[in-house]
A = this chain, B = another copy of it.
């Protein structure tokens, strides 16, 4: 704050410890921010001359636009432990801490590849549906374009997202994107899978479905038929344009809220079966070892989760005063019901405002005003979804699994603010 003011008079009483304000504060018409950020204009600066961009014509049109070169630091994050020769297997992450809202630009959508991005000629691509069906059928891209479509906004999250935190004894000092960036949100358009399954006629005894990709990994997962008949989609478009190669061009299986790898990209085959296939991709990984030594299999739904992005590691504080805490929350089970924020390491909590519309299985932006007094603070966010499921603490999450199990990590993320304003990753 530029001026010394009576904080309570301007903002009302804090609603939780360490300066958290009521979520409706910023919906009021108010002069409360006066001096927080604006500079009174010097009279001389008014009309003191035009900026250089007004003195010569700007750039010409182009067929497909790109972000500003002034923001070329905003790029996907290649996992640092991948040797160059293996750049087809691994992942690149969404730089969450630089982004806002709920839609991830397709160019910054995270990618998890098991053997590179194939270059598929869409005129030659075929989707085969076979197995326990009345009429095995092949669908081309052109034929799918004739079907009724639907448009829905959903998040996508890798089952291994945030796994580095699960496995590490000491909290890694890294950005929100480094830690949690196997997460993105998109508007998807495509054909409801149940329409196609109705058409081929699924045997009532079929309980599972194999989904196989046309990549060099032959990425394959078993999916329960209830999900295929519920809200599964053959996605053909992402954020309005044809789905991109890294996301499965010309088509991917979309299973809203299920772990990312089951949303099989470059989808070429669905086989209806009476049990799961136990492919290499669901036995060698994507199972969760429990404390008793047994592995949990087919834990497909992503649990409620959230992460504060402003502030977060590298997005530091700039002096005491007013801030908006902002981040994203999501749940694979449905809508986010609420996000609670703590500034005192979990002792007290305040409910954040959610950006409307709050959609099922979609990234939900939350915001909460905060008057930071300049002292140490520990920020936490905790999602409760519409099924009543709540993000666990770090210790609660670890207790569910055997050591080094690192899938489905959804514990509360804690960011410590030092007196110097630096933000660090801490376990609470």
Contacts and interface: CB of A to CB of B under 8 A. Distances in A.
Interface of A: 26, 29-31, 33-34, 36-41, 43, 45-46, 50-51, 53-71, 74-76, 78, 87-88, 90, 92, 98-109, 111, 113, 115-122, 124-126, 128-130, 135-140, 143-144, 146-151, 185, 187-189, 194-196, 198-201, 214-216, 218, 236-237, 239-242, 244-246, 249-250, 266, 268, 318, 321-324, 326, 355, 357, 359, 365, 367, 369
A187 B357 CA distance: 12
Contacts of A118: 53-54, 58-59
Nearest to A201: B31
Given A38-B199, A75-B64, A51 B268 contact: yes
Contacts of A124: 51
6 cross-chain pairs, A with B, having the tightest CB-CB distances, nearest first: A58-B116, A53-B118, A26-B148, A63-B75, A37-B143, A38-B137
B241 A74 contact: yes
- Centre residue among A30, A237, A242 by max chain B CB count within 10 A: A242
11 contacts: A39-B140, A41-B130, A46-B128, A53-B119, A59-B118, A60-B117, A61-B92, A70-B120, A146-B318, A149-B324, A239-B239
Contacts of A26: 148, 195
A63 B76 contact: yes
Contacts of A43: 136
Given A38-B199, A101-B189, A241 B108 contact: yes
Contact of A149 (B34, B100, B216, B236): B100
A105 B60 CA distance: 19
A408 to B, nearest CB: 24
Nearest to A26: B148
A181 B375 CA distance: 52
Contacts of A365: 151
A95 to B, nearest CB: 9
A200 B125 CA distance: 59
Copies in the complex: 2
Given A54-B118, A58-B115, A99-B240, 20 more contacts: A30-B195, A37-B146, A38-B199, A38-B200, A39-B140, A41-B137, A46-B136, A56-B216, A58-B113, A60-B87, A61-B111, A64-B76, A64-B107, A67-B244, A68-B245, A70-B122, A102-B187, A105-B106, A105-B239, A148-B324
A71 B188 CA distance: 17
Contacts of A111: 61, 65
A145 to B, nearest CB: 8
A369 B41 contact: no
Nearest to A321: B146
- Centre residue among A103, A140, A369 by max chain B CB count within 10 A: A103
A33 to B, nearest CB: 6
B37 A187 contact: no
A151 B102 contact: yes
Contact of A59 (B61, B116, B369): B116
B51 A214 contact: yes
Nearest to A71: B242
B117 A39 contact: no
Given A102-B151, A143-B37, A242 B57 contact: no
Contacts of A128: 41, 45-46
